[in-house]
Amino acid sequence: MEMGALVVTAGGEAGSPAHLPSLWAPSWPVLGETVLERWIKRVQSLGVGLVSVVNRDSEHANRVRTMVEWAREGVEQILLIVLGSYAEIDLLDLVRFHYEGQNRVTRVFDEEGPLGISLLDRGCVLTNREKADQDQCLPSSRYDFLGYVFRLSSTVSYRRLVEDALQGRCEIQPAGVQRRANVWVDETARVHPSAQIEAPCYIGAGVEIGAGVVIRRSSSVERNCRIDLGTTLDRASILPNTYVAPGLHVRESVIDESRLEDLARGVAVDLGAAGLSTRVGTRPRRPFRQRSSSPAPASLFGG
């Protein structure tokens, strides 16, 4: 029985006014991989080879057309995922529930309500073409999920998911090498020997950590970032391709290129004008005094 999966990206993207808190964006990685990438891997582990990703803002007709074409080509079941949460659902059990109940549409719920995950039979798609990707309009069976779920709607929720992952409260595995207990560092990262890396934390691919930098308390530095001399990150996340200037103390915040959001105060500021952070590549690269072509040994990641 062939199955297809249609993932509809949801959530805010970058571009909020600099002084206002932002929405979570599907492009933000969580310890090396985005939630979208993790959903796709979960679907593929089910043996589904037919996977399509569409933007929430794309035309409704295009999304429906994809599902109808699959159904016409003989795809028996279509898994529809509207991306707004991270859920560690057993998709095989969902399929079994759908099949054994002979359901036309099965929707997944947790204690707070629908999760935006549905399984539809081809017959239902073909007979309800105009509403094929709006399963809430169709009669459906309810599948209750009681496992780990995290709804993603804001920068605050994003940081909580990062902390849950680093603290081992969910199944997310950081993309990198575990240098010591709860310290993950990608093989391509460069960490100055004087930097202090405290567990739990994550340092992604292509990252450069300068002399005297301190990273502590569930902080994450995503791919291709540069953290300059003496800066401290405390319960902070630095999103990809961001340069952070020397001597800063970044606490309970998320920095995305030149934009810092202070989660404790609920405000956002633009650091670009002062040169405190920017997109990597927009300022000259200053080589660190000590650099090695291989990652620093575990003994350098002291608490």
Residue 115 lies in a domain: yes
Write down the pLDDT at residue 302. Answer: 35
CA 247 to chain centre: 28
Write down the pLDDT at residue 129. Answer: 61
End-of-domain residue from the set 99, 116, 151: 151
Write down the pLDDT at residue 241. Answer: 97
Query: Do residue 135 and residue 233 come from a single domain?
Result: no
Residue 73 lies in a domain: yes
Nearest Cα to Cα of residue 241 among 260, 261, 221: 221
The structural domain count of the chain equals 2
Q: Model confidence over 46-83: pLDDT tens digits? A: 899 899 998 876 655 677 888 999 999 999 999 999 99
Query: Do residue 145 and residue 41 come from a single domain?
Result: yes
Query: Do residue 74 and residue 109 come from a single domain?
Result: yes
Write down the pLDDT at residue 139. Answer: 72
- The reported pTM is 0.85
Query: Do residue 97 and residue 203 come from a single domain?
Result: no
Tell me, letter by letter, the H, E, C secondary structure of the chain: CCEEEEEEECCCCCCCCCCCCCCCCCCCEECCEEHHHHHHHHHHCCCCCEEEEEECCCCHHHHHHHHHHHHHCCCCEEEEEEECEEECCCHHHHHHHHHHCCCCEEEEEECCEEEEEEEEEHHHHHHCHHHCCCHHHCCCEEEECCCCEEECCCHHHHHHHHHHHHCCCCCCCCCCEEEECCEEECCCCEECCCCEECCCEEECCCCEECCCCEEECCEEECCCCEECCCCEEECCEECCCEEECCCCEEECEEEECCEEEECCCCEEEECCCCCCEEECCCCCCCCCCCCCCCCCCHHHCCC
Residue 162 lies in a domain: no
Query: Do residue 142 and residue 50 come from a single domain?
Result: yes
Q: Model confidence over 188-220: pLDDT tens digits? A: 999 999 999 999 999 999 999 999 999 999 999
Q: What is the CATH number of the domain that holds 21?
A: 3.90.550.10
| Domain that includes residue 106, residue range | 3-151
- In the chain, which residues have pLDDT < 50? 14, 135, 284, 287-303
Write down the pLDDT at residue 284. Answer: 46
Strands 177-180 and 183-185, by their bridges, are: antiparallel
Write down the pLDDT at residue 16. Answer: 56
Query: Do residue 131 and residue 233 come from a single domain?
Result: no
Query: Do residue 7 and residue 147 come from a single domain?
Result: yes
Residue 298 lies in a domain: no
Write down the pLDDT at residue 23. Answer: 75
Query: Do residue 58 and residue 102 come from a single domain?
Result: yes
Residue 301 lies in a domain: no
Write down the pLDDT at residue 59. Answer: 56
End-of-domain residue from the set 136, 151, 166: 151
Query: Do residue 146 and residue 180 come from a single domain?
Result: no
